[in-house]
């Protein structure tokens, strides 16, 4: 059984991860309206990954015999000024999530909760990947944004992403 403070914080993180899923699904729908099917597919897969992150924490709380509380998910934006702005927002969001994971790690240390600390290591590593992936995407989008041909080639390439 884990400390109530740790369980509360993990429940909040489930909500953050579900919001991430919502945000990226909203971006996916926005990219569909731009006719960028590759980017839409990439974000749809990303949204599913976020749901997976939420479920990882959900399952951990159950394993620890702690209460799972599903909190209200806030409404994400429905559109952005451009593809670049949306990907920029995704990168900023990943940095925000990294901060949240770091706060959880600090709390687990303060509570001397080694099991949760160990559980969170997966998220620490995952956030390095998440930031790297969105940053690389942002750099490519910035290079291609002014050339329709380059953008369409990038859209095709981005759409080759497969689910893990
Ligand atoms: Fe994108 O890593 Fe979870 O939120």
Summarised one tens digit per residue, pLDDT across range 7-23 is 999 999 999 999 999 99
CB atoms inside a 10 Å sphere around CB 141? 22
**134 ligand 1 Cβ < 6 A:** no
Q: Does residue 68 contact residue 14 with C-beta atoms inside 8 Å?
A: yes
Say how many Å lie between the CA of residue 164 and the centre of ligand 1.
15
Which atom of ligand 1 is closest in space to residue 16's alpha carbon?
4
Q: How much is the pLDDT for 157?
A: 97
Which atom of ligand 1 is closest in space to residue 17's alpha carbon?
4
Closest by CA position to 8, among listed 109, 107, 96: 107
Q: Does residue 9 contact residue 127 with C-beta atoms inside 8 Å?
A: no
Q: How much is the pLDDT for 94?
A: 98
**46 ligand 1 Cβ < 6 A:** no
Give the tokens for residue 65: 């015999």
Domains and CATH numbers, the chain: 4-158 (1.20.1260.10)
| Stated pTM of the model | 0.96
pLDDT in tens, 70-93: 999 999 999 999 999 999 999 999
Q: How much is the pLDDT for 1?
A: 84
> Which residues of the chain register pLDDT less than 70?
none
Q: How much is the pLDDT for 156?
A: 97
Query: Which CA distances in Å does 13 have to 68, 97, 111, 164?
Result: 11, 9, 17, 22
């Amino acid at each position: 059984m884990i400390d109530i403070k740790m369980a509360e914080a993990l429940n909040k993180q489930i909500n953050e991860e579900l919001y991430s899923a919502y945000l990226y699904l909203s971006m996916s729908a926005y990219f569909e309206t731009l006719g960028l099917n590759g980017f839409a597919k990439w974000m749809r897969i990303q949204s599913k990954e976020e749901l997976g992150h939420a479920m990882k924490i959900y399952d951990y709380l159950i394993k620890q015999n702690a209460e799972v509380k599903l909190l209200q998910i806030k409404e994400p934006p429905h559109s952005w000024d451009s593809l670049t702005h949306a990907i920029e927002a995704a990168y900023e969001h990943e940095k925000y999530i990294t901060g949240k994971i770091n706060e959880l790690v600090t709390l687990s240390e303060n509570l001397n909760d080694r099991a949760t600390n160990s559980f969170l290591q997966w998220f620490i590593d995952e956030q390095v990947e998440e930031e790297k992936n969105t940053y690389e995407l942002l750099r490519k989008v910035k290079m291609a944004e002014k050339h329709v041909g380059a953008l369409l080639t990038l859209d095709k390439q981005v759409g080759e992403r497969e689910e893990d």
